A and B are shown apart, each in its own frame.
Chain A
Amino acid sequence: MRGALIVPLVLVVAACSRDAASSGASARASATGEPTRHYGLGHAASAAEVAARDIDVGPDGEGLPPGSGTAQQGAIIFQAKCSMCHGPKGQGMPPVFPALIGRDPKAEGFSFAKDWKLVKTIGNYWPHATTVFDYVRRAMPQVLPGSLTNDELYALTAYLLASNQVIPMTTTLDAASLKQVKMPYVDRFVVDNRRGGKDVK
């Protein structure tokens, strides 16, 4: 509670010094090249303030935290913390709880546009392995988001990738190995070519 009282004071000081430095609205150039104005509002974020929110993981592995976990450990965590919604085999419970695991041979040609009943899973659709880590860290388990440790996250990511036949069940994942994982269908994702005009795309 004490900390909570101290923090705002620290922030006020930071905000004041920023105001003084910018001495009111001053003209500078924007990255767009246009002249711009500074209002001296807000305060410079401290490293701790950035760290507290900066949890994203990029497809290049940037932002992956320390820690590690095995697919076998992940299987146990999955049964305890995920299976009640996603099913014991990760098969999902439609329509609310999505399937996470499954490689229906009918879907293997990435033929989802022809049949919407084909089930998309991490193995047959997701283009980047880092997304599994990033999303589970943000959002799962749905009733307790933010409750998993980094080791648990690596273990669950390893289990979800292994049970989708992307990596062997014996894999241990950490920051270095997760960013190396190539998803089977990454090459199928293309940039948007719609531009309006006469063509329907």
Chain B
Amino acid sequence: MDERVTDVEGARTTDARPTDAAGEELLSRRTLITGAVGALGVAVAAGIPLMAGGQGAKAPAAPPVPAVPVVPVDATKVPGAPTTAVGTRSPFVKPSRAPVGEITGNSLTPLQDLAGTITPADLHFERHHAGIPFIDPSRHSLLIHGMVATPLVLSVEEIRRFPPVTRTAFIECSGNGRAAYREPKPDTTPQKAAGLVGNTEWTGVPLKVLLDEAGARKDATWMLAEGGDACLLARSIPMAKAWDDALVVWAQNGEPLRPEQGFPLRLLLPGFEGNTSVKWLRRLELGARPWMTRWETSKYTDPLPDGTARQFSFDMDAKSIITSPAFPQALTKGWWPISGLAWSGRGKITHVEVSTDSGSSWSQATLHAPALDRALVRFTHMWEWTGRETVLLSRAIDETGYVQPTRAELVKVRGIGTDFHFNPIVGWKVQGDGHVVFHGET
């Protein structure tokens, strides 16, 4: 009998979580486990949690800042640098995702440092619940099973042979903006206020093509999407979304996905809360009811003031934020472009309105084409600062007619303690001395 099958079946009855890897991986996993047991033992002996110093605790030491090379007095009078295998940013440009946490960490898109709408892959926010797995694409595959005619295993290479499509879509974590909503603080940057969002040109295959390949049954109503990370993150997705605009993607802005974005495969559910676009996708199971995983019960549910909690609240409501001027900028008198980003999980943004007088009047900002379905759109509005204290605000309106609400309106319907989906109007107070601070109490 095939040794692998024996191993798998043995694992099924004794181990709670069988491993599906070949013998080679079993070996390395055991080696790893032994190492981890050792580490655990040490931590237990010391009586300290293994991740002390992680999220929330003291910040890890900053990596040494590379020295700026000597800049010639006149760059036109000396030959320039040679070509390189992989490009780098100018030493004068130093964006940072400001990462926190180790195993259950996140990092934020530095919105204030970006122009246009596409988020560079290495600056896209990340959120994970068990670290970023290190995956060899030649040993990764996607299993599609459950209510299908033929349960299928597709290698990464095979998935890339289906008719590919490319589209732009944002991904926003539904926890984006929690701190700024609950306790707005003046020293909040755009990155801190709304950095759990990114916008990418994705390439992959429509999920419906794969569903048809497996012969998905019409009576399947839910699908479990599972990642191959160390928590096997899993979410139940309505089949209506799976048949509609879901993609299985492998590329991000023209290159293979970054590991922290799901290399080698991720699900992409445009407009849905980010957690459902399951990274490191390894399994799709079709069924007739949701699975009630931890990520759709304990987390990613929204307590409401009437003593209920909203569940499967997938759609991201329309939202906008001015990314400049913003804290910690200081303005001088004169003309400035007010520039920001807007998006809606329900379709296209039709208008963004900007107020430069603390909300007394609003004018239409310019939307920079193309304003795509479920993608970030850039808006700008030219404004002359005369030296008077004021508040700059923006509000997005989407094609369903939804108008981004104030914080007070949201607190009324969702409560201050609600846990996910924060899309209040926010803005920036320009003080008399030109210093700009966050204004969250709208």
Query: Which of B48-56, B78-86, B365-373 is found at the contact surface with chain A?
Result: B48-56
Residues on B with C-beta less than 8 A from A152 are: 16
Can you list, as one digit per residue, whether each of B342-383 has a CB less than 8 Å from chain A (1) or not (0)? Answer: 001011000000000000000000000000000000000000
In this assembly, does B99 line the interface, its C-beta being within 8 Å of a C-beta of chain A? no
Which residue of chain A has its CB nearest to the CB of B216? A31
With most chain A CB atoms within 10 A of its CB, the pick from B290, B310, B419 is: B310
CB distance from B285 to the nearest CB of A (A): 7
In this assembly, does B135 line the interface, its C-beta being within 8 Å of a C-beta of chain A? no
Instruction: Say whether, besides A55-B232, A111-B307, A126-B297, A96 and B51 are in contact (CB < 8 Å).
Output: yes
The answer on a CB contact under 8 Å between A189 and B16 is no
Footprint of B on A, CB under 8 Å?
1-4, 6-7, 10-11, 28, 30-32, 36-39, 41-46, 48-60, 65-66, 84-85, 93-97, 109-118, 120, 122, 125-128, 130-131, 134-135, 137-139, 141-150, 152-153, 188-198, 200-201
The answer on a CB contact under 8 Å between A56 and B234 is yes
- Chain B residues 1 to 59 lying within 8 A of chain A, measured CB to CB, are 2-5, 7-9, 11-20, 22-24, 27, 33, 36-37, 39-40, 43-44, 47-51, 54-57
> Could you say which of B24, B217, B285 contacts A31, with CB atoms under 8 Å apart?
B217
Footprint of A on B, CB under 8 Å?
2-5, 7-9, 11-20, 22-24, 27, 33, 36-37, 39-40, 43-44, 47-51, 54-57, 101, 103-104, 129-130, 143, 145, 150-155, 158-159, 161-162, 182, 208-209, 211-213, 216-218, 220, 224, 226, 230-234, 243, 282-283, 285, 287, 289-294, 297-298, 301, 303-305, 307-315, 317-318, 344, 346-347, 398, 400-403, 405, 409-410, 413-419
The answer on a CB contact under 8 Å between A59 and B289 is yes
Residues on B with C-beta less than 8 A from A149 are: 14-16
Instruction: Say whether, besides A84-B50, A113-B303, A51 and B8 are in contact (CB < 8 Å).
Output: yes
CB distance from B224 to the nearest CB of A (A): 6
Residues on A with C-beta less than 8 A from B3 are: 2-3, 6
A-B contact pairs, 18 of them (CB 8 A): A10-B2, A28-B212, A30-B211, A30-B212, A36-B212, A39-B161, A41-B161, A42-B152, A45-B151, A49-B153, A50-B143, A53-B143, A56-B291, A58-B291, A116-B416, A135-B293, A142-B50, A146-B15
Residues on B with C-beta less than 8 A from A43 are: 152-153
A193–B282 alpha-carbon span in the complex (Å) = 31
A60–B47 alpha-carbon span in the complex (Å) = 39
The answer on a CB contact under 8 Å between B213 and A52 is no
Which residue of chain B has its CB nearest to the CB of A138? B232
> Could you say which of B13, B20, B162, B307 contacts A188, with CB atoms under 8 Å apart?
B307
Residues on B with C-beta less than 8 A from A116 are: 182, 416-417, 419
